[in-house]
Every structure is written in structure tokens, then in C-alpha cells.
Amino acid sequence: MSNQKIQSTIDELLKSLCVNVDGIDIEESELHPIFLVRSPDSKILIGSGGENLRALNYLVKKIVEKNIEGDHKFLIDVNGYHGKKLEELKQQARILAERARTFRHDVELSPMNAYERMVIHSLIGEDPDLSTESEGEGKFRRVVIRYNAKDLNESD
């Protein structure tokens, strides 16, 4: 029931901003629901480097926290932008993880937001040869992929 309330909140906010919306679909993921907004005004909603989309997510979460009881974790995506960016990020992380494993040294990723860091931590967290750690402050916070050195006498 609360997903419909969140969907309605997103729709009402976008209409009040005079943004054209073709529809809002709800996709269940393993972490949380994703509200997929289809809009011809995606350029406005996404903004430069996804800044407007991050702001929209923040704003809707604050509205939902205030008006709908309970703990609500969700993500808003516009025309698949966030999904594409996450796939690119995962691919980059896989390449850098392989580099850390091959060269047996730590690899530092570019600064990213908390959600992107969480995705990287969960992606790399299952690898016994690697671990991840966040370093830095604020908008400069990034993930470091660490190679877990093994005893050289052990056979691979």
C-alpha cells in the first residue's frame, strides 16, 4: 500500500513542477523498490550529471518521511538513467577489482555518492580476495578496493 502512496507523491510533485509524465512504474529490486518515471522532460529531471535526479530523490524522501509512517527505502529513476549509470559503475568496479587482484595492490575509485558506494561494497564484498573501504569526506568520499594479501606459501 505505501508504494502506491509514494508513487502518488512523486506524481503530484512532478505535476506541481509542470513536468510531463507518461507514467510511473514500480520495479522491485533486492534492496528496495525503484520508481521508474517515464517522461519526455527527462533532461530537466536528470540534470547535469544526475544532479537534479539526486535532488528529486532527496526531496521526495523528505516528503515521504513527513507524510507516510514507517521506514521507506526507495529510489526514483527517470527513463532508465540511474539503471544505466549503475551498470556502468558496476562494470568499472569489476575491471578495477580485477586490476587489484592481478597486480595485488589497492585501487581507489573516483568519488561517488553514498548509494553508489553501497552498490560497490555489496558487489565486491562477496570476493574473498578483496575488501572495500570508504575514505574521504563529503563529496570527495570514495571506495578503495583492497587486495587481501595471502600467505605466499599457500597454494592457489
Give 52-98 pLDDT, tens digit per residue: 999 999 999 999 999 887 788 899 999 999 889 989 999 999 999 99
Long-range contacts at 128-133 (CB < 8 A, ≥ 24 apart)? 129/101, 130/97, 130/100, 130/101
> Residue 29 has what pLDDT?
83
Q: Between 3.30.1370.50, 3.30.565.60, 3.50.50.60, 3.40.50.920, what CATH number should domain 84-147 receive?
A: 3.30.1370.50
Q: Give residue-wise pLDDT tens across range 96-133.
A: 999 999 999 999 999 998 888 988 999 998 889 999 99
Which residues make beta-bridge pairs with 132?
A: 145
User: Domain 2-79 is in which class?
Assistant: alpha beta
> Residue 156 has what pLDDT?
47
For residues 120-143, b (16+ Cβ closer than 10 Å) or e, as one string? Answer: bbebbeeeeebbbeeeeeeeeebb
> Residue 150 has what pLDDT?
64
- Write out the three cell numbers for 129: 580476495
Structural domain spans, the chain: 2-79, 84-147
On whether the CB atoms of residues 16 and 60 are closer than 8 A, the answer is: no
> Helices 81-103 and 114-124: crossing angle, nearest 10°?
50
pTM: 0.74
How far apart, in whole angstroms, are the C-alpha atoms of residue 72 and residue 50? 22
DSSP class of 95: H
On whether the CB atoms of residues 112 and 89 are closer than 8 A, the answer is: yes
Reported confidence tier of residue 149, pLDDT bands at 50, 70, 90: confident
> Residue 70 has what pLDDT?
79
DSSP class of 47: -
